[in-house]
Structure 1
Amino acid sequence: MNTAQESAKATGETLLIRGVEVPVVTSTIAQKDLRFFVDNPRVYSILRVDGEEPSQADIERKLLEMDHVKTLIQDIKRDGGLTDPVVVRAQSLEVLEGNSRLAAYRGLAKTDPVKWGRMKVRLLPADIDESLIFALLGQYHIKGKKDWAPFEQAGFLYRRSKAHDIDSSKLALEIGLSKRKVEHLIAVYQFMLDNGDPDTSKWSYYDEYLKSSTIRKARLSQQGFDNLVVEKIKSGEIARAVDVRDRLPVICSASKALQKFSTRTYGFEDAHEHAVEAGADSTPYKKLAKFRQWLARPEVESALSHAQGETRKKIHFELDKLAGRIEAVSAKLNPKK
Structure 2
Amino acid sequence: MQEVDDRNPERWSYYDELLKSRFNHARELYPQFDKKITEMIQNEEIERAVDVRDGLPKIVKAGGNTLKKFMNGTFSYDDALQEAHQRGAGNFYTKRFSDFKNFLADENVDFEIMNISDDEKKQLKYLIDRIEARIKQISKKVNAVKN
**TM-score tier (shorter):** 0.5 to 0.7
Is 2:37 the counterpart of 1:234? no
Q: What's the TM-score, normalizing by structure 2?
A: 0.63
SS at match of 2:19: helix
Please list, as runs of the form range in 1=range in 2, the aligned pairs for 1:310-325 lying within 5 A after superposition. Answer: 324=127
Distance 1:238 1:205 in 2: 9
- Structure 1 residue aligned with 2:103: none
More strand by share: 1
Is 2:20 the counterpart of 1:211? yes
- Structure 1 residue aligned with 2:87: 278
- Structure 1 residue aligned with 2:72: 263
Distance 1:230 1:254 in 2: 20
- Structure 2 residue aligned with 1:223: 31
- Structure 2 residue aligned with 1:198: 7
The offset of 1:197, in angstroms, is 1.9
- Structure 2 residue aligned with 1:85: none
- Structure 1 residue aligned with 2:115: none
Q: Which residue, 128, 131, 143 being the options, matches 1:328?
A: 131
SS at match of 1:239: coil
Change (3 A) 1:254 1:277: same
Distance 2:78 2:89 in 1: 14
Distance 1:277 1:253 in 2: 12
The offset of 1:266, in angstroms, is 0.4
- Structure 1 residue aligned with 2:51: 243
Q: What's the TM-score, normalizing by structure 1?
A: 0.29
Bigger radius of gyration:
1
Amino acid at match of 1:258: L
Amino acid at match of 2:53: R
SS at match of 2:90: coil
Deviations 1:42-64 (A, max 9, x none): xxxxxxxxxxxxxxxxxxxxxxx
The offset of 1:286, in angstroms, is 4.5
Please list, as runs of the form range in 1=range in 2, the aligned pairs for 1:1-337 lying within 5 A after superposition. Answer: 192-213=1-22, 215-255=23-63, 256-286=65-95, 324=127, 328=131, 332=135
Distance 1:285 1:231 in 2: 32
Change (3 A) 1:266 1:195: same
- Structure 2 residue aligned with 1:171: none
Q: CA RMSD in A?
A: 3.2
The offset of 1:209, in angstroms, is 1.4
Distance 1:269 1:210 in 2: 21
More helix by share: 2
- Contact 2:18 2:34 (8 Å CA) reproduced: no
Amino acid at match of 1:231: E
- Contact 1:210 1:216 (8 Å CA) reproduced: no
- Contact 2:33 2:71 (8 Å CA) reproduced: yes
- Contact 1:212 1:245 (8 Å CA) reproduced: no
Question: What is the identity percentage for the equivalent residue pairs of Structure 1 and Structure 2?
Answer: 36
Moved beyond 6 Å, runs of 4+? none
The offset of 1:208, in angstroms, is 1.2
Change (3 A) 1:195 1:289: farther
Distance 2:25 2:94 in 1: 19
Change (3 A) 1:281 1:220: same
- Contact 2:46 2:77 (8 Å CA) reproduced: yes
Q: Which has the higher contact order (CA 8 A, sep 6+)?
A: 2
SS at match of 1:228: helix
- Contact 1:208 1:244 (8 Å CA) reproduced: yes
Deviations 1:260-301 (A, max 9, x none): 1011110101111111111112112456789xxxxxxxxxxx
Distance 1:237 1:287 in 2: 32
